Amino acid sequence: MGTRGTPQIRMTEAEQAAATMLVSWRANLRFPDARLDNSIAARMTLAGHIRLVRPRVVILPYWEARHPDHYRAGELAYEACFLAGLRKLDSETEPHRPAKVIYSSLYANVLPSFVVDISAQFERRMQALFAYESQYGAQQEGSDLFPDQSEIRERLASVARFYGNQIGVKYGEPFVVKETMRVDDIVTLGPRSF
């Protein structure tokens, strides 16, 4: 449904981005773009995949976003993670519930629960993003909606530098969790206070 590209082009771009990020497994459930619905059918489909893949950690979009698909994806996936752990969900797969659900808060104006040092991965991250040529490449169509690649790179680098600065590294990525985090050794907590 996006202004640029087609579903087929976006699928190819997603595969390229996954290869750039060295992703070992990637799938697309082909839920409808701009019409994502947190329905029981969608939850059950995703829960089935969670039971098969058995992730330990699931990273979801932050629960408030400009694009409805983004926040709906977060709520849909959270509920599917819960359902995936129910023993009687289906008789074909073993129950599995991820140990941790975290929320990517890069585009949310919220205080992060923690920031991850992505300095070593920042360039690879940008290459993966720009694999989506139909969305971020130089094109006349939609040029009034999308900044050019150099502007996107500058904006994202600035944000990553901001979060990196908070933990004493070049680039950082913020995340939020809903539960209180446990700390076993406060001396090993980084960054240093002074």
Mean pLDDT of 23-46: 92
| Separation between Cα atoms, residue 188 and residue 133, nearest integer Å | 42
Q: Is the pLDDT of residue 40 over 80?
A: yes
Using an 8 Å Cβ cutoff, are 115 and 173 in contact?
yes
**CATH fold for domain 7-179:** Rossmann fold (3.40.50)
Residue 176 identity: V
| Separation between Cα atoms, residue 37 and residue 75, nearest integer Å | 10
Using an 8 Å Cβ cutoff, are 38 and 83 in contact?
no
pTM metric for this prediction: 0.89
Q: Is the pLDDT of residue 148 over 90?
A: no
Q: Any alpha helices (H) in 113-168, and if so which ranges? A: 122-130, 133-136, 149-167
